[in-house]
Amino acid sequence: MARIVEPNTTPLEPVDVDPVTLDLVENGLRNARYEMDEVLFRTALSPGIREQHDEFPLIADPSGKMVVGQFGLSIPDFLAGFEGDIGEGDVLLTSDPYSCGAAISHANDWLVVLPIFTEGRVVGWASMFGHMSDVGGKTPSSMPTDAKTIYEEGVVIPPFKLYAGGKLNEDALRIILNQVRVPDWNRADLNGLVAACRTAAKRVTEMCARFGVDTYLSALDALLQRNYDAMKTLLHVVFAEGRTLSFTDYICDDGVGYGPYELKLSLTRTGDRVHLDFTGSSPQAIGPVNYYLNENLARMFFGIYMITVADPQILWNDGFYPLVDVTIPDGSYWKPKHPAALNARNHGIGRVFDLFGGLLGQTNPALLNAAGFSSSPHFMYSGNYSGGDRKGEWFQLYSIGFGGIPGRPLGDGPDGHSLWPSFVNIPCEFLESYYPLRIEKWETVADTGGAGLHRGGNGVDVAYRFLEPGTIAIHDDRWLMYPWGVNGGTPGARGRKWIDRASGEREVLPSKCHDVPVHPGDVLHFVTWGGGGWGDPLERDPELVAKEVRRGLVTAEGALRYGVRVTEKGEVQEQETTALRDQQRSRRDGALPVFDMGPGIEEILARCEEETGLPAPIRPVWR
């Protein structure tokens, strides 16, 4: 347990904060948090943060409760795992999920935490973590898909003082940077993380000066209370007393041949409180897909769905946490035992969105979306230039793929977009200018979005032609289990990966692989999955279906799923369409299902090899 050293021990008086000042503090915190993002984006060198904004800021109150941020990480758990004094000018760094109660969830994430001091006392914490594109280990980008322990996943930094009293621990940094492939990246990104946290600290200090420390801190309490009160009301409105809701989704495989992993989540409200229960989920994975989930993060995810819809302008904070109890079984997918491998947990993080969507949507149609592009699949390519001016020089690409946003109550899911906030793709021209590859195609794949009144977004096919020998790695999922549709919408298409070798051979790749050799002239197709459809496809305006055929987003054959027949030119054939729709309706028995998850799991496994070209995984069992 960390001991906080505060020279000023005069107790602070809680004061009444008028509602307008409260809103002013809220606004100031929101500005500070966006400024943190800006500082890091603009200065980072590694592609993960620089181009794709894989980073998460947070400002907390003196006890470590988040008062603004967009993705929790738990400062109390971090402090509990740190042995020693913390004082003014200290900056802490860690990348070890097991030493901070999963405040971060894999070793690629470097977490910076610093105390914010004003007048000799801690008035809060600034913290930020970012995904380092490489942290050493046995494969470039440090995410071996066959890892079975965290020791295979590069340098794992225990919590320590990167700066003690404002002085950089250069020896420690040198030891760390000696482990990684492109130390300039890590150094710049780490500088950016620290600069962003210091910016936040400056803004908080300014607010303390403007409003007074007691007013500022009392305002934080009031903001936390505001969340608490809002959530208490919401829980009563949304959930019936004593009724248990459950939902299950899947991770298709773990990279070493086991799967699908069941992710089960149940919710029950009793009185003012709800209980989130992950019991019934699969055991921890043998491969690296485990998502070590912090309880506070589970609360956070839950709250995002609840409050975003009620008052989207509200500032996100931890205030409602006491209303939510969380059970995560030890040794499960969500709480693996040390030293289980963790690197490929991004599928699990993404799936949490679908899981909460499917769970909470059962009570509230406003929240019910189909399954979306709940991941941030990775593509890596690295090697040494074999000739030319750059002969021998190391290149290393890390990039994220995008897919279909699901059909939503609001409308269609965008094609080839990101479910994650602020992620963007790396432009083709940028990639071609800095890496030995050429992109031959970058488009969404017609019909991969699930059919529905609101169509699911299409997945994307990016075709990379390699110009230098090297190796590639892929981290993706949803190649086996379908992105489900809702309210009559059908599932989206699953993702696929293959290489057309220069020799003319086609080689199907698993969704998780690394160190796959590639040669000049080989072309990789990285095809992501589509979003599920929302609502009855037979209700969709036939003119819109036809327009999408003309736009190339749906094929003439795909239009049949909407009961729409089109001419060669993509015009609606009205009579044929009416007849087809009548016929399709007459074949239905009963009401449309709320969830359409595709065929059952047994059937999917039985047809796996035939449909995907890949062997069926072995189902995991608790031991």
- Based on CB atoms, which residue is closest to other proteins, 105 or 425? 425
Choose the binding region for other proteins from 112-120, 171-179, 441-449, 606-614 (rule: CB under 8 A).
441-449
Choose the binding region for other proteins from 246-254, 431-439, 474-482, 575-583 (rule: CB under 8 A).
431-439
CA 151 to mean position of chain CA atoms:
23
Q: Which of residues 185-214 bind other proteins (CB under 8 A)?
A: 185, 187-188, 191-192, 195, 198-199
Q: How many residues bind other proteins (CB under 8 A)?
A: 88
Residue 543 C-beta: closest distance to other proteins, Å: 13
Residue 392 C-beta: closest distance to other proteins, Å: 17
Selection from 585, 409, 413, 607 nearest residue 491 by Cα? 413
Selection from 373, 383, 470, 374 nearest residue 415 by Cα? 373
- Based on CB atoms, which residue is closest to other proteins, 21 or 284? 21
Torsion of CA 278, 282, 286, 287, to 10 degrees: -70
Q: Which of residues 54-113 bind other proteins (CB under 8 A)?
A: 70-71
Show the tokens assigned to 247: 């939902």
Helix (H) or strand (E) holding 264: strand 261-270
**Residue in 23, 214, 500, 576 binding other proteins, rule: CB under 8 A:** 23
DSSP string, 342-364: -TTTHHHHHHHHHHHHHHHTTT-
Residue 64 C-beta: closest distance to other proteins, Å: 20
Residue 417 C-beta: closest distance to other proteins, Å: 5
CB 316 within 8 A of CB 367: no
Dmax over CA atoms of the chain, in Å, equals 83
CA 273 to mean position of chain CA atoms:
27
Residue 613 C-beta: closest distance to other proteins, Å: 24
Choose the binding region for other proteins from 43-51, 282-290, 589-597, 599-607 (rule: CB under 8 A).
43-51
**Residue in 59, 193, 219, 234 binding other proteins, rule: CB under 8 A:** 234
Residue 435 C-beta: closest distance to other proteins, Å: 10
CA distance readout (Å), 410 to 365, 366, 447: 11, 9, 20
Residue 227 C-beta: closest distance to other proteins, Å: 8
**Residue in 9, 13, 16, 20 binding other proteins, rule: CB under 8 A:** 20
Q: Which of residues 535-554 bind other proteins (CB under 8 A)?
A: 547, 550-553
Q: Which of residues 287-346 bind other proteins (CB under 8 A)?
A: 304-305, 308-314, 316
- Based on CB atoms, which residue is closest to other proteins, 6 or 461? 461
CB 534 within 8 A of CB 408: yes
Residue 188 C-beta: closest distance to other proteins, Å: 6
Q: Which of residues 583-602 bind other proteins (CB under 8 A)?
A: none
**Residue in 7, 38, 508, 611 binding other proteins, rule: CB under 8 A:** 38
**Residue in 7, 166, 365, 421 binding other proteins, rule: CB under 8 A:** 421
| Contact between 394 and other proteins per CB under 8 A | no
Residue 150 C-beta: closest distance to other proteins, Å: 27
String marking each residue 501-530 x if it binds other proteins according to CB under 8 A: ------------------------------
**Residue in 164, 172, 428, 560 binding other proteins, rule: CB under 8 A:** 428
- Count the neighbouring beta carbons within 10 Å of the beta carbon of residue 390: 13
User: Angle at the Cα of 267 (from 263 to 271), degrees rounded to 5?
Assistant: 165
Q: What share of the chain is helix, strand, coil (3-state, %, to 5)?
A: 30, 25, 45
Show the tokens assigned to 140: 């470039």
Contacts for 261 with CB less than 8 Å, ≥ 6 apart: 250, 251, 253, 254, 281, 282, 285, 289, 333, 620
Q: Which of residues 348-367 bind other proteins (CB under 8 A)?
A: 353, 367
Amino acid residing at 43: T
**Residue in 31, 149, 244, 327 binding other proteins, rule: CB under 8 A:** 31
- Based on CB atoms, which residue is closest to other proteins, 164 or 426? 426
CA distance readout (Å), 621 to 169, 229, 359, 605: 46, 42, 24, 16
Kindly report the backbone phi and psi dihedral angles of residue 156, in degrees, each rounded to the nearest multiple of 5, phi listed first. -115, 110
Q: Which of residues 450-479 bind other proteins (CB under 8 A)?
A: 460, 463
Q: What residues are paired with 475 via a beta bridge?
A: 378, 512
Residue 260 C-beta: closest distance to other proteins, Å: 25
- Based on CB atoms, which residue is closest to other proteins, 52 or 282? 52
| Contact between 224 and other proteins per CB under 8 A | no
How far is 602 from 600, CA to CA, in rounded Å?
6
- SS3 annotation, 85-118: EECCCCEEEECCHHHCCCCCCCCCEEEEEEEEEE
Q: Which of residues 113-172 bind other proteins (CB under 8 A)?
A: none
Query: Which residue reads 């007048």 in tokens?
Result: 119
Residue 478 C-beta: closest distance to other proteins, Å: 17
